[in-house]
Structure 1
Amino acid sequence: MVHANEFSYGLLTPGLAFAMSCVGSFLGLRCAGRARACAGIARAGWLLLAAASIGATGIWVMHNIALLGFSAPGQAIRYDVPMSLLSGLVAVAVVFAALVIAGSGRAGFLRLLSGGIVIGGGVLFSMDFVGMAAMRMPDTIHYNAWGVLLSVLIAVAAATLSLWAALRQRGIRPAVVASVAMGAAISGMHYMAMAAMRFTAMPGAAGMLGGVTAPEFVLPLILVISILTFILIISVALGRTEEQIRAEAALNDLLARHRQGHAWQTSAAGRSRHSAAPPGTHLL
């Protein structure tokens, strides 16, 4: 049995992972708020940005930063980049699907729970199965059933909380509180799933690892994601708020009704003039 250490750098990697999870969750909540006030392509676009923020930054980047602190005594650990990228795409896809499911009607408990199960199951599959399959170690991985069950429950609870916050909460302060709670839940899910894993050494497998080291993969990843996150922050900051979008929609609806009423009054006045004219009179 190999005794792995998930905190090789102390609290540095858990702290950074938690921070990125909070940032991704906050941006996702703000994008979901924009989506609530839009329709059509604009709504789909904001939902996709919300899914990318929560799935890529809040979950996938958090997972990979946390793995920087993972080590096993005397063993090399490398990563399969395409497999790891696939796990990130799966995370974004399941978050997007859950946002669509939960937001397609009234956000009742069953709809939120259904979306939470989709996200929770999808995230566990993408991060702790596909993502861990991307980790190249001279070991075989076994799972503790009770630990996996607890991580599933945490994942579903965290995902349901995320959907509730994304579809119900409005304003900066509730979004900050919800994003911190989501960040803690998502990070807790990751470390619980890691604690459920057991590693058994495979003699002679060290020479067949392939892949890249954690710094070679994660450090460029952090740089790229940081740039994309900064761009997304600027987009959210400069974009119209949910309240502004709703106010503009209400104003446009009011103007449309006013024009419709004016057209109806003009038509009614014309019919009245025509009916009041003597027979044979031609109105100009």
Structure 2
Amino acid sequence: MGHLDHATFGWLTPVLSYVMACIGAALGLRCTVRALGATGRSRRNWLVTAASAIGTGIWTMHFVAMLGFGVSGTDIRYDVPLTVLSLLVAMVVVCAGVFAVGYGRDRTRALLIGGLTTGLGVASMHYLGMAAVRLHGDVTYDPMLVGLSVLIAVVAATAALWAALNIKSPVAVTLASLVMGAAVSSMHYTAMFAVDVRVTPSGEVLPGATAMQFIFPLAVGLGSYLFLTSAFVALSPTTGEREASASAQQPLESVAGRQQARTV
């Protein structure tokens, strides 16, 4: 049996991964709030941004946490195509869930379908990411804990989408994102505790990339994307602000028009 360590860098990876999950959730909720206040192409763009933020946040959380995953007696490598596929699955499935909520006629039904889709997507992203792990030995899972992790993922996703539909104030969005981050993190660590590794020592070179070669640069890149998008969303005016500035400009334009008419 290999001894599993879920925090080889101490508290750094759990805390950093939680922060990433919270930022992704906060940005996703903010964009969904904007989307519900918009129409047409603008709504679609906001929903795509929301989905990419939540998907990126969850995926980055998973793999930042995985940076701290170690097994005594074996090195760990990651299969690059499978890891990238897990990111795409996170994006696409979260997108489907967010769109179900954004365009759903019946709120409750949209919420249940969206929550189930997104939750199963998060879980499949996690287990695809785990399938990308290469080590000397056999990986087995505790079915009860796997089931529990999927349930947590579905409940967390449904709660997050409910928050997106019902919560408007920045303080409430912040609180909801902290809860969402905690739910995603607990799903991840529940799933990780379901893992059991039987190490078979071997001198063979493992296929794939090390976490620092591949996961770390990708996580930094996606983390930067989250921060930059957060700044953009925070600075872009809301629909209400845009309407207010437009209505404020109209009287000025009409005054300017009248003055121009007088001078002519």
TM-score, normalised to structure 1, is 0.81
Q: Is the 8 A contact 2:21 2:184 kept in 1?
A: yes
Q: Is the 8 A contact 1:77 1:135 kept in 2?
A: yes
Is 1:98 the counterpart of 2:129 in the alignment?
no
* Counterpart residue type for residue 69 of structure 2: F
* Counterpart residue type for residue 169 of structure 1: I
Aligned length: 246
Is 1:88 the counterpart of 2:87 in the alignment?
yes
Post-superposition CA distance 1:89-124 (Å, at most 9, x none)? 110111110011122235633331221111111111
Q: How does 1:185-204 map to 2 (within 5 A)?
A: 185-204=183-202
**Closer, same or farther: CA 105–77 of 1 in aligned 2, 3 Å:** same
Is 1:62 the counterpart of 2:45 in the alignment?
no
Paired residue secondary structure (1:157): helix
For 2:239 and 2:158, the matched residues in 1 are separated by 22
Q: Is the 8 A contact 1:107 1:167 kept in 2?
A: no
* Counterpart residue type for residue 233 of structure 1: S
For 1:95 and 1:10, the matched residues in 2 are separated by 30
Paired residue secondary structure (1:207): coil
Counterpart in 1 of 2:6? 6
Counterpart in 2 of 1:150? 148
Gaps of at least 5 residues in structure 1 are 252-284
Q: Is the 8 A contact 2:32 2:102 kept in 1?
A: no
Paired residue secondary structure (2:4): coil
For 1:151 and 1:107, the matched residues in 2 are separated by 28
Counterpart in 2 of 1:132? 130
For 1:233 and 1:175, the matched residues in 2 are separated by 13
Counterpart in 1 of 2:176? 178
Aligned-residue offset at 1:201: 2.3
TM-score, normalised to structure 2, is 0.87
Counterpart in 2 of 1:47? 47
* Counterpart residue type for residue 115 of structure 2: G
Counterpart in 1 of 2:117? 118
Gaps of at least 5 residues in structure 2 are 248-264
Paired residue secondary structure (2:198): strand
Aligned-residue offset at 1:176: 0.2
Q: How does 1:11-50 map to 2 (within 5 A)?
A: 11-50=11-50
Aligned-residue offset at 1:154: 0.6
Aligned-residue offset at 1:166: 1.5
For 1:6 and 1:78, the matched residues in 2 are separated by 15
Is 1:72 the counterpart of 2:71 in the alignment?
yes
Q: Is the 8 A contact 1:4 1:70 kept in 2?
A: yes
Paired residue secondary structure (1:212): coil
For 1:234 and 1:59, the matched residues in 2 are separated by 19
Q: How does 1:167-246 map to 2 (within 5 A)?
A: 167-204=165-202, 207-244=204-241
For 1:28 and 1:95, the matched residues in 2 are separated by 10
Q: Is the 8 A contact 2:13 2:64 kept in 1?
A: yes
Paired residue secondary structure (2:95): helix
For 1:230 and 1:105, the matched residues in 2 are separated by 29
Aligned-residue offset at 1:208: 4.8
